[in-house]
A and B are shown apart, each in its own frame.
Chain A
Amino acid sequence: MSSRPRKVTLRYYNVGFGDCLLLAFQYAKTERFVLVDCGTTSAPGKADAGELLAKVALDVEARCGGKLHAVVATHRHKDHVEGFRRKKAGDGPGDVFLRCQPDAVLLPWTEDPDLETDAVRPSKGLAAHALHARGLLGMQSAAGGVLAEAKRLAPALSKAAARRLAFLGEDNLGNRNALETLWEMGRRSRAKRCRFLHHGMKSGLERVLPGVKVHVLGPPSIEQHPAVLRQRQKDEDEYWHLLGFAGRRSSGAPQPFRGAGHVARTAPEHRWIVRRLERLRGEQLYEVVRTVDDALNNTSLILLFQVGDQKLLFPGDAQIENWQYALEKNAELLKDVRLYKVGHHGSLNATPKSLWNGFTRKSGGAGSGDLLSVCSTKANVHGTTNEVPRKKLVDELERRSEYRSTPGLPKKSLYGEVEIVI
């Protein structure tokens, strides 16, 4: 086998609001395949998400000839890992990927199952890493509680408010099934374990992808990024844990006073405040779930694939807090990126200005002007207050790069492709 790929092809599947990206590294006599994420929270058009992901999984299997060389799950959001879900009957998309027997499975350090602690163990004495992981788990439990409560509240909320709550609530659920598939894939891999990565670690793909240098730029570990540590002082992990516990407890309606009499019909003098309370509660739940969403996005793996002078950047949904460390340490390395997978489906917060301004291959600049940007997204599903994809960002991407996006694909196309010749 030649020591370096000649061509890299990125197949970006039209999964709606989510990511499913298949990288094919073409060597002289063979090809090697890396799957980066597979999930959706809102399929394109009226497609059924389950059916779509099954179709995508089979297409990946066909394209890679039944053999994946690596699987990357950037973070555990549903729109990135739902496609790894298995079914009892063995015909889930996760079952398909499992039988593709990846040689390596890459996850962020926060998903290491060894960091899981007894949910009721006091936080005192826990290592900072374990505390962080525990806070994140608590947050996901909280998202479950939010979802359950949002269903009860739905009749009292506007349709738009109920929809955005359900969307973010579902995306932030634990996705345990998908994670277990990934851990199982790791156990069956050469290394017998997933690689749980933080900034600066070896990716573990050195033997899998000869001639390709894979830089792990994020997420930072707690020791690396004191800002993370500062965010996590005091009892905040406990707050999430508490909310998560409340969420698990209140999957049915909470009942503080069993046997206490209820009012059958709200009296006129109470209707105003009752309506206000319900609306306010809807807003509160949305804020909770937004905080959870941001925190989980910031656990995203940021990978930079380097083949010769071509660099391909995959930041998952990393937001500014995750990016900060990479930008401090790797600004130079990031300058001549050739392909940029647009962060977090084109939302606010995920494409730092300093990253974009540093790109030298943008068109209209002094460089080669051959920057490619690829965005996997779906408009109007992420709520109205935070426009995704953000028009200002898309305008800039269209102006300064060759911009590809899943909404720009012909109707009924399962995927689009871009090629980079080395």
Chain B
Amino acid sequence: MSSIDDAGPHAWTIIAQDPSVLWNGRILRTRAVVPDERLLPGPRGHRVHVVDYDASARVQYKSGDEPREDAFAGAGDARLLSDPAFHRRNVYAIVMRTLATFERALGRRVDWGSGGHQLYVVPHAFCDANAFYSRADHALMFGYFPALPKRGGKKDELVFTCLSHDVVVHETTHALLDGLRERFMDPSHNDQAAFHEGFADVVALLSVFSTREVVGKVLDIAVQKAGKAAGVRRGEPMLPTAILGPKELARNGLFGLAEQMGQELPELRGDALRRSVTLRPSNRLYTSEQYEEPHVRGELLVAAVMQAFVACWAMRIAKLGEVSKGMVNRERAVEDGADLADALLTMAIRALDYCPPCDLSYPDYLSALLTADRELRRDDGRWGLRERLTKSFAAFGIDPVPGSDAAGCWQAPKHPERLVYRRTHFESLRRDPQEVFRFVWENLDELHVDPSAYTQVISVRPCMRVEPDGFVLHETVAEVHQTIELEARELSERGIDVPPGMAPEQRVVLFGGGTFVFDEYGRLKYEIHKRVDDQKRQSARLAYLWRQAPSDHDPSRPIGVGGDGQRLHRLHRMRATRWAGAPRKEDVL
């Protein structure tokens, strides 16, 4: 077995969106920069191990040496579709590109949620319209399935989920998010359950839109649809801004792309792009029954972000048009769209550092998003992203957390002078969980940490981010997690409601804790907490979890724990099938 040491960073051909999105009759391609690393056959690098095993057929495809150069640069469509070696390299490149995006946004190395250094990636895992991240298996699994002939597919044509850029990014995001916030897979209320899906969709779509090829395609579809009436043809270098307003970009461009995207895959990917365009904003949606189910609720997050994206992009195009009398240079518009998607993507990822460690709500995420961006980009003038996002979330009924500042951002600690630093060491605080715990212990009250709960520092992450002015911002983000187990009969002593029908001896587990962001001097900058004794939140969480509990729930098993490593593949299937879940326990004998 030979290996290859690459000389430097290089870019490999990948499919820009999926094989059904074409450019001049050919599959639209782009190039992804892959790291300069030692590669073994697979490809197998320092973070990803591609294993081409098919459990449905029970065969493993041979993989050979991985050439350093872009081996499929000139390959035709037929080869891209039929050569498993391309599939393996495509999936490797997209997973590594996504990892690099996260590391760039966060200013540090990022772990996979499954632990270990190398994540297994299985591009042809089984014959099924499904793809998912499995924490227990340390793997991303991608299925393939025969195309239905009705969609104009050729006989024996197969659909490979590993060739869909957005699907690969979506699954990779699950693995990364799980690494950054390990407790987000815990049973909580429906916002947290929906967040994994919604966030993975947001990252997937913005990742696709951060490639110029796809943005150019969106623009061209918009021009094709609206340009005829305006006397504009596809391919012209100057375009009238009048046909590139927010409505036109959304209805013609994004929706048009959604229509072209793999028609076999709405069942799998949940049709996130189409829904993000067609979902009509209403501030009642966030609290409506219709959007209670996690797999549907995720769509609200995607719509809020994508509609903000469209609004910002249209605003930029209009500004460009001011310079050249209602006309805009196509290349500038494309460049701006891709840059905007990249900025929004970075912002969306960076916000994770400002999220609480558990029981995340959409308002929490919005405040985190705004805070993360303001920390690094004080001037929001170019795109007005924070303002647009605030408006867009509000249009769906999602406002920043109560108690946030006027801009919707997290507030600094109210009484910084009360914090005790003298018993901790600055350097250790930046990387040592024991030192952070010591800091927490000395400041229990100020940090809203309940000493009666089991408390653990689950992460300490030093980060280094480059500000637009070129200076480097150092921060340390620590997560403190709290767990307390009670019997239902003890809940009322803490002012927490017992869900109807729950036996007094039923064990319940409550979570709490905080995310502590330290500045470059080791001083606490933000303290984003979820109190374990928050009566309202805990009552709502337990009521939600009790409704979801299976009808044959064994009372000796506690409610509130048991995050299931397989949950995502079930969630993905549920999203596809929308079949009824288990009956409520009060309904069956």
Contact = CB atoms under 8 A, between A and B. Distances in A.
Contacts of B126: 277, 281, 284
B120 interface: yes
A320 B148 contact: no
Q: How large is the interface on A (under 10, 10 to 19, 20 to 34, 35 or more residues)?
A: 35 or more
A329 interface: no
A344 B160 CA distance: 39
A278 B259 CA distance: 35
A256 B144 contact: yes
B128 A273 contact: no
Contact of A257 (B58, B61, B579, B580): B61
A30 interface: no
Interface string B136-151: 1111010011101110
Given A152-B56, A349-B551, A120 B149 contact: yes
A328 B564 CA distance: 35
Given A235-B266, A280-B134, A246 B127 contact: yes
B53 A242 contact: no
Interface core residue of A242, A270, A356 (most chain B CB under 10 Å):
A242
B150 A120 contact: yes
Contact of A236 (B82, B148, B271, B579): B579
Interface in B42-87: 51, 53-62, 82-84
A239 B122 contact: no
B130 interface: yes
Nearest to A324: B587
A320 B55 contact: no
B127 A254 contact: yes
Given A121-B150, A255-B57, A291-B579, A274 B588 contact: no
A277 B53 contact: yes
A353 interface: yes
B576 A239 contact: yes
Interface string B265-283: 0110001000000000000
Contacts of A413: none
Contacts of A238: 148, 267
B557 interface: no
A120 B148 contact: yes
Given A239-B129, A256-B158, A353-B587, A261 B62 contact: yes
A291 B60 contact: no
B71 to A, nearest CB: 16
A257 B51 contact: no
Interface stretch (B217-225, B405-413, B565-573): B565-573
Interface in A132-168: 149, 152-153, 156
A250 B127 contact: yes
Contact of B148 (A152, A242, A291): A242
B129 A243 contact: yes
B62 A260 contact: yes
B158 A236 contact: no
Contacts of A353: 586-589
B552 interface: yes
Given A352-B588, A356-B589, A320 B145 contact: no
Interface core residue of B60, B84, B149, B271 (most chain A CB under 10 Å):
B60
Interface in A214-266: 227, 231-236, 238-243, 245-246, 249-250, 253-257, 260-263, 266
B124 interface: yes
Interface residues of B, number: 57
A287 interface: yes
Contacts of A348: 551-552, 588
A354 interface: yes
A135 B138 CA distance: 34
Given A261-B61, A280-B137, A283-B566, A351 B55 contact: no
A250 B137 CA distance: 25
Given A284-B126, A284-B130, A276 B587 contact: no
Nearest to A255: B57
Given A231-B579, A249-B146, A254 B61 contact: no
Contacts of A352: 587-589
A245 B148 CA distance: 7
A273 B137 contact: yes
B125 interface: yes
Contacts, number: 172
Contacts of B122: 273, 277
Nearest to B124: A256
Interface core residue of A227, A238, A351, A393 (most chain B CB under 10 Å):
A238
A268 interface: no
Contact of B57 (A235, A254, A263): A254
Contacts of A283: 566
A295 B579 CA distance: 8
Contacts of B158: 256
A234 B129 contact: no
Contacts of A354: 587
A113 to B, nearest CB: 21
A320 B137 contact: no
B264 A349 contact: no
Interface in B159-217: 160
A41 to B, nearest CB: 22
A321 interface: yes
Contact of A241 (B59, B141, B148, B573): B148
A417 interface: no
A125 interface: no
A396 B576 contact: no
Interface core residue of A281, A288, A294 (most chain B CB under 10 Å):
A281
Contacts of A263: 59-62
A246 B156 CA distance: 11
A287 B61 CA distance: 27
Nearest to B55: A281
A243 B576 CA distance: 11
Nearest to A262: B59
Interface string A340-360: 000000001111111010000
Nearest to B275: A234
A239 B588 CA distance: 29
A240 B589 contact: no
A410 interface: no
A122 interface: yes
Contacts of B551: 320, 348-349
Contacts of B141: 277, 280
Contacts of A203: none
B313 to A, nearest CB: 28
A320 B583 contact: yes
Nearest to B552: A348
Nearest to B267: A239
B489 interface: no
Given A152-B58, A240-B577, A250-B56, A349 B583 contact: yes
B578 interface: yes
A71 B551 CA distance: 34
B576 A236 contact: yes
The list of the 6 closest CB pairs from A to B, nearest first, reads A320-B583, A261-B62, A281-B55, A120-B150, A263-B60, A239-B267
24 contacts: A149-B127, A231-B579, A236-B578, A239-B577, A242-B148, A246-B129, A246-B146, A250-B56, A253-B56, A263-B61, A266-B53, A270-B60, A273-B51, A274-B53, A274-B55, A277-B122, A280-B137, A281-B126, A284-B128, A321-B580, A351-B589, A352-B589, A353-B588, A356-B589
Interface of A: 120-122, 149, 152-153, 156, 227, 231-236, 238-243, 245-246, 249-250, 253-257, 260-263, 266, 270, 273-274, 276-278, 280-281, 283-284, 287-288, 291, 294-295, 319-321, 348-354, 356, 390, 392-393, 396
Interface of B: 51, 53-62, 82-84, 120, 122, 124-130, 134, 136-139, 141, 144-146, 148-150, 158, 160, 264, 266-267, 271, 551-552, 566, 569-570, 573, 576-580, 583, 586-589
Given A153-B55, A239-B129, A256-B84, 14 more contacts: A149-B56, A152-B56, A236-B577, A250-B56, A260-B84, A262-B60, A263-B62, A270-B53, A273-B120, A273-B137, A277-B139, A321-B583, A348-B551, A348-B588
